[in-house]
Structure 1
Amino acid sequence: MDWQALLLTLRLATLTTAILLVIAVPLAALLALGRSRWLSLIEAITALPLVLPPTVLGFFLLVLLGPRTAVGRGIIATLGHPLAFSFSGLLVGSVIYSLPFAVQPITAGFAAVNPALVDAARLLGADMPRLVGTVLLPLARRSIVVAAVLSFLHTIGEFGVVLMLGGDIPGATRTLSIVLYDQVESFHYAAATRTAVALLAMSIVALVAIYATGAGRGLGREMAREDRRG
């Protein structure tokens, strides 16, 4: 087991999940409760990583964050180094790539809250931040758990974005998925088996935890209702 890669992967997944929850909660509230005609466009952009090949997303981010674009040159001027082929760059790519895995469960949870409770809170003068904090978050806490676990697991298993944006730099961008690829490419199948089993075990433990709390079943019902509406 490459312990350095394991620790880097866990660090990346933890930071990505924390950032995603901060972004996803207000975005999900906007999608669930908003009435703007632009919501469909925002929702489509949010879901884009689900259908866009990871290597394509990684390539666009590599170009955007590189020295050939104004954004990349601005980042270099601010930080003193490019984000591409760095841990910070991987973090940016991971947040973008896993965004729908955080936003969609939370949006489904917020949408499932009884509208009468939302209306009552609004009549009592609650603004959007207070409505989210006192009504939506407590009632949709299982969806928050699901979003956190799915974001964490998705980040652990991502490969295409990591390879395109970060390369294979030990201690900086080499995650467990890259290690597994290197082991298979080098015909080290015994080591590859151990790495794959470790990734599989983390996924199973996390998913069992979701369904043991009932959050997974609740999310399934919410998504089924959304499918019927669509």
Structure 2
Amino acid sequence: MGGRALSDELWSPIWLTIQLAGITTFTLLIVGIPIAWWLAWSTSRWREVVGAIVALPLVLPPTVLGFYILVALGPQGLGGWFGHLAGVRSFAFTFEGLILGSVISSLPFMVQPVRNSFEAMGRRPLEVAATLRASPWDRFVTIALPLALPGLLTGAVLTFAHTIGEFGVILMIGGNIPGETRVLSIAVYDFVETLRWREAHILSVGMLVFSFVVILLVSLLARKSKGRAL
């Protein structure tokens, strides 16, 4: 029974973290690509202001970012209003709250590489496609996205890896609730705090190996895709 309890104690945060990272990455692929496209090609005077807001999580201390997200998710913030619609008191200290916090904190890790890829390809391929009467949507799907594939892959792996390793924001808005908000980074901290070095080593080595394999695989895919584009 003790071994089974220990196994559950280790696998629960692993599975929860994979779910969180997967949902966050998928969400930011949908949300981040349009933002990156707008930042790459917009002529609005507000473009760099929006770009600075998107990049804030890169320089803002995670605890500060997590604090304001927690305030927003609380009963007196927007989370209370959305929670009322969903039939819950608030999204603070819930898995749904972790998703929202992870999307905000990982936003620049998706947007910046994709924006750089859009800017690097230039307008020429899109202009050529336009002369062949390709619609804006066709130009975006068949020209822009394939050429920006290395940036998309880089953004996806950075988002996934950052979500797995995030600690400050997660701790502030999710706490340490087993089966709900106790993800890998929190579990490692908890094991170290209680001097359970064996469990901390198991999770830490697993995170190290997994992160290395994912980064290496995506880097190879990005290089292959870039070679095809050339």
Asked if 2 retains the 8 angstrom alpha-carbon contact of 1:67 and 1:73, the reply is yes
Distance 1:21 1:215 in 2: 20
Stretches of structure 1 that go unaligned for 5 or more consecutive residues are: 219-230
Distance 1:127 1:204 in 2: 40
Asked if 2 retains the 8 angstrom alpha-carbon contact of 1:211 and 1:217, the reply is no
Q: 1:42 to 1:130 in 2, by over 3 A?
A: farther
Give the secondary structure class of the aligned counterpart of 1:37.
coil
Task: Give me the TM-score of the superposition, normalised by structure 2.
Answer: 0.89
Q: Please say which of residues 4-13 and 127-136 is displaced more in the overlay.
A: 127-136
Distance 1:215 1:93 in 2: 31
Q: Please say which of residues 207-216 and 128-137 is displaced more in the overlay.
A: 207-216
Superposed, 1:186-205 pairs within 5 Å as 186-205=194-213
- Select the residue among 153, 177, 183 that pairs with 1:175: 183
* CA deviation vs aligned residue, 1:119-148 (integer Å, no higher than 9, x gap): 223445555433321211011112111111
Does residue 118 (structure 1) correspond to residue 126 (structure 2)? The answer is yes
Distance 1:125 1:32 in 2: 23
* CA deviation vs aligned residue, 1:157-182 (integer Å, no higher than 9, x gap): 10111110011111110000000000
| Amino acid in structure 1 at the alignment position of 2:27 | I
Quote how far apart the aligned CAs of 1:188 are: 1.2
Distance 1:24 1:127 in 2: 22
Quote the residue 1:79 is aligned against: 86
Distance 2:56 2:167 in 1: 17
Stretches of structure 2 that go unaligned for 5 or more consecutive residues are: 1-6
Asked if 2 retains the 8 angstrom alpha-carbon contact of 1:102 and 1:151, the reply is yes
Give the secondary structure class of the aligned counterpart of 1:36.
coil
| Amino acid in structure 2 at the alignment position of 1:83 | F
Distance 1:34 1:120 in 2: 19
| Amino acid in structure 2 at the alignment position of 1:10 | I
Q: Please say which of residues 57-66 and 72-81 is displaced more in the overlay.
A: 72-81
Quote the residue 2:101 is aligned against: 93
Q: Please say which of residues 133-142 and 115-124 is displaced more in the overlay.
A: 115-124
Quote the residue 1:9 is aligned against: 17
Quote how far apart the aligned CAs of 1:40 are: 0.3
Asked if 2 retains the 8 angstrom alpha-carbon contact of 1:94 and 1:155, the reply is yes
Give the secondary structure class of the aligned counterpart of 1:95.
helix
- Select the residue among 130, 133, 139 that pairs with 2:138: 130
Quote the residue 1:141 is aligned against: 149
